[in-house]
Structure formats: structure tokens, C-alpha cells
Amino acid sequence: MSAVRPSALEGMEFLPEPGEPRMLTAVDPSAVEHEAEWRSEVMGWAPTLVSAVPHRRRRVARSSLGLVVLVILAGLIASQGWLFVEIPLDDSEWAFESTGLRDLADEGYDGSGVRVCVVDTGVDTSHSALSDIDVVFRDFIGGSTAPLDRGATAHGTMMVGLMLADGHQKGAAPGVTLGVAAALSGDDEGENTGDDAVVAEAIDWCRTGFEADLISLSLGGEQVEGQRDVVVSSVRRALDAGIFVVAAAGNDGGPDDDGRVASPAFLPRVISVAASNESGEIWTNSSSGSGLGEDPNMKPEVHAPGVNVISTGADDAWFSSSGTSVSTVLVTSALAMILEAHPDMRVGDDRCVTHVKEALRSSLGGVHDDRTGYGGLDAMAWFEAVDPTCSTAF
């Protein structure tokens, strides 16, 4: 075995192995950004897109965060002993800064006192960036009393991390009181799916059991024609009770897009969220609306970062994720800070639900597009457009 000098690694990129993301494979940097979907499929990462980790020479130091990966690469045995290479981990601070979420945080807001309920695959609180969070957990799949993530991919853990992580990357609204309902789980094909009746029961629990102020739904299904939709009914009950609901527009965009956002995001009083990339361009797979409806309820209402966003994942690792699910949590976090500032808006009916949507529309300019909504999330502008006297309106 021949030794490889550190200088030989200059400019190289590394891809994590799917079975053990702490083990990296060196790759030609010219191939790193080539056909990400294909690369993820052949490496075993699908449906998650695998992101390369760039190598930079740095002094090796202990990381109190436990997030900097120290890797022993095969062949890197020097005469002095093992050669450790510190691989810097990427983050998605751009997603928090470009949306104004960090601006609200700088004003002292973190969602404190606001009860946010997440219906998803659950949450893995053993992740080092989530180990200190308090969560009211309810498992609607298997009846576990301890928090866990039942997803084929740790989808719920990624969503919770965007809001509450405390580590390599800081969540957007870490002060919220969190409720998590595990209502989705992984199937034999590696997809996260759920039964409508179970999801509806979980949403009802958010309303009556957890007593949520705000429900975040990074999920969606097809709109049901001509029959009762139990998920839609449960969301309507929440809205009638004055609970704000933010939901993913869906990931079926592209040339075959049917022009309808997912259910329950299509409901007028729900805030439907599309996904955009770091440049502010709409993600190809983000679902578009049909142009139907009236202001401020035309779909989708807003877009937010949702492409290659880093968050907490399985096995104490950090993953890159794309989809309107991610965007939904960022909008949820902004609304949580608005409700923190104006607790009187949390009333027992939907008068402020409607006002908050009108404030969102006006903060984005008021002109709707079937793909981009009224515009990209500007948390500070939305905050300033809200009139807390909505609670006194009749």
C-alpha cells in the first residue's frame, strides 16, 4: 500500500456512503454535480439526493458539536501514523437569511409560547442537535410512547431540525412548544406513506390533544373528487377552531403537472407553499396551481427555499433534502414568530386565519402566479403587514 500525501487531495470532492454517511469516497470534482438523481440512485441514496462534501485542508481539531466528520481514508497511512482529514460540513444558512427568518431572530423572536404541531414520520430525538428539545409525542402507527422516526428516510426528523436544531445549523424557531404526531411510515419501496384515516386522526389530535396554535403539514395527497376526504375534514375543523395550517403544495410539477396543488394544501384557508432554490427560482418539481380561486387564497400562496437544504437526519447525520416539505417548515417558522409577537391573534375561530393570509399576500406585492404564488417568503415584511387587531373583528 503506497502512502498518499495530503497535497494529493487538494481540490478533491467526497461522497458519503449510504450505509455509513461518515465514510466518504473520493471522486473526480468534475463529476460531482453531474446528474445528481442518477448518482443517488446508483449509490443507494435514492430517493434522497446525495450532496458532495468538498475537501479543504484545515488543522484537525476536536469538535464539541460532534458534527465535523473525521475520516480515515484507505491508503492515507503515513510514516508518522494515521493521517486524519477533517471534512467541513455544509449548511443552508442561505435559506434562513434570504427569507428574513434570521432578521426576526435578531429582533428577539424564536416562536416562544406558540404551540406547533408537526404531522409526519415522527422525530428522532437521539440526534445530537435535537437531544435537548422537549416534544409532546404521539405515535399513530405503532403506539410508541418514546419519540422515534418511522420513515424510510428520517423525514420528520429533517423537518423538526429546520425549526429546532441546535448544533451545526440553528433552527428557525427553536422556542416553539413542539408536538409531533407520527402518522406516516416507510413502505417496502422506500417511500414514506400514510393512511388517510390515520393522518386525519393525527390532525385531530393536534387540535384537541395537543391544543396547537399552528399545524405544519409537510405532506400531501391527491384531491378526492366526489367523496368525503377525511384529511380535508380534519383540517377544516382545525381552521374553524382558529388554528393556522401551513401545507406543502406538492412535488408533482414539471411537464405532466395537473395544475393542482396537493391535498390539503388546496383548501382556501390553508397556506400552500411551493419550493424554490438558492437563486430564488422555482424548483422544477414544485406543484403549480390552476389559476382558480380568489385572493388571498390562490394556490400556491408563497414559495420558500426547498432545494438541497441541509437538516438533521438519521444516525446523528446531516442530510440534504429537496421538496415543498422543506419550504413548508420555513413558512411555519415565520408564522410561529408572528404569533409569538401577537398572542391575541390566537382566537377560537378563523378571523385571524383569514387576515394572516391577506397580510402574506400584501407583503409579497399581491400579484399571483400559478407557480411562484404571490412571491418568495419575506418573514420581516409579513411580520410588519400583520394587524393584531384582527382578533377584535366581527
Asked whether residue 237 carries a pLDDT value surpassing 50, the answer given is yes
297, 268 Cβ separation under 8 angstroms: yes
10, 29 Cβ separation under 8 angstroms: no
Report the share of the chain in percent with pLDDT over 70.
77
184, 118 Cβ separation under 8 angstroms: no
Residue 50: CB atoms within 10 A of its CB come to 21
pLDDT tens-place string over residues 309-324: 999 999 999 999 999 9
Q: Sorting pLDDT into bands at 50, 70 and 90, what band is 346?
A: very high
Stretch 244-255: mean pLDDT: 95
Asked whether residue 1 carries a pLDDT value surpassing 80, the answer given is no
pLDDT tens-place string over residues 177-220: 999 999 999 988 888 999 999 999 999 999 999 999 999 999 99
Stretch 60-75: mean pLDDT: 27
pLDDT confidence of residue 15? 61
Question: How far apart, in whole angstroms, are the C-alpha atoms of residue 95 and residue 112?
Answer: 21
Stretch 380-391: mean pLDDT: 95
pLDDT tens-place string over residues 151-168: 999 999 999 999 999 999
Asked whether residue 28 carries a pLDDT value surpassing 70, the answer given is no
Stretch 348-368: mean pLDDT: 95
Asked whether residue 78 carries a pLDDT value surpassing 90, the answer given is no
Q: Which three cell numbers stand for residue 112?
A: 416562544
Residue with the larger pLDDT of the pair 15 and 218: 218
Asked whether residue 118 carries a pLDDT value surpassing 90, the answer given is yes
For residue 143, CA distances in Å to 75, 122, 184 come to 48, 12, 13
Q: Sorting pLDDT into bands at 50, 70 and 90, what band is 5?
A: very low
pLDDT confidence of residue 50? 55
Q: Which three cell numbers stand for residue 159?
A: 423537518
Name the pairing type of β-strands 318-321 and 214-217. unpaired
pLDDT confidence of residue 56? 39
Question: How far apart, in whole angstroms, are the C-alpha atoms of residue 313 and residue 159?
Answer: 9
Question: How far apart, in whole angstroms, are the C-alpha atoms of residue 125 and residue 110?
Answer: 20
Stretch 352-369: mean pLDDT: 96
290, 138 Cβ separation under 8 angstroms: no
pLDDT confidence of residue 228? 73
What is the 3-class SS of the chain, one letter each residue? CCCCCHHHHCCCEEEECCCCCCCEEEECHHHCCCCHHHHHHHHCCCCCCCCCEECCCCCCCCCCCCCCEEECCCCCEECCEECCEEECCCCCHHHHHHCCHHHHHHCCCCCCCCEEEEEECECCCCCCCCCCCCEEEEECCCCCCCCCECCCCCHHHHHHHHHHCECCCECCCCCCEEEEEECCEECCCCCEECCHHHHHHHHHHHHHCCCCCEEEECCCECCCCCCCCHHHHHHHHHHHCCCEEEEECCCCCCCCCCCCCCECCCCCCCEEEEEECCCCCECCCCCCCCCCCCCCCCCCCEEEECCCEEEECHHHCEEEECCHHHHHHHHHHHHHHHHHHCHHHCCCCCHHHHHHHHHHHHHCCCCCECCCECCECCHHHHHHHCCHHHHHCC
Position of cell 417548515?
329
pLDDT tens-place string over residues 262-303: 999 999 999 999 999 999 999 999 999 988 889 999 999 999
pLDDT confidence of residue 312? 96
Q: What is the mean pLDDT of the chain?
A: 84
pLDDT confidence of residue 41? 54
Stretch 17-41: mean pLDDT: 53
Q: Sorting pLDDT into bands at 50, 70 and 90, what band is 45?
A: low
Q: How many residues are recorded in the chain?
A: 394
260, 289 Cβ separation under 8 angstroms: yes
pLDDT confidence of residue 224? 72
pLDDT confidence of residue 75? 30
pLDDT confidence of residue 394? 59
Report the share of the chain in percent with pLDDT over 90.
68
For residue 83, CA distances in Å to 47, 76, 80 come to 34, 6, 8
pLDDT confidence of residue 170? 97
Burial of 392 (0-12, 13-18, 19+ CB in 10 A): exposed
Question: Residue 327 phi/psi, 5° resolution?
Answer: -60, -40
Question: How far apart, in whole angstroms, are the C-alpha atoms of residue 305 and residue 96?
Answer: 8
pLDDT confidence of residue 223? 81
Asked whether residue 368 carries a pLDDT value surpassing 90, the answer given is yes
Asked which of 50-59, 273-282, 374-383 is least confident by mean pLDDT, the reply is 50-59
Name the pairing type of β-strands 214-217 and 185-186. unpaired
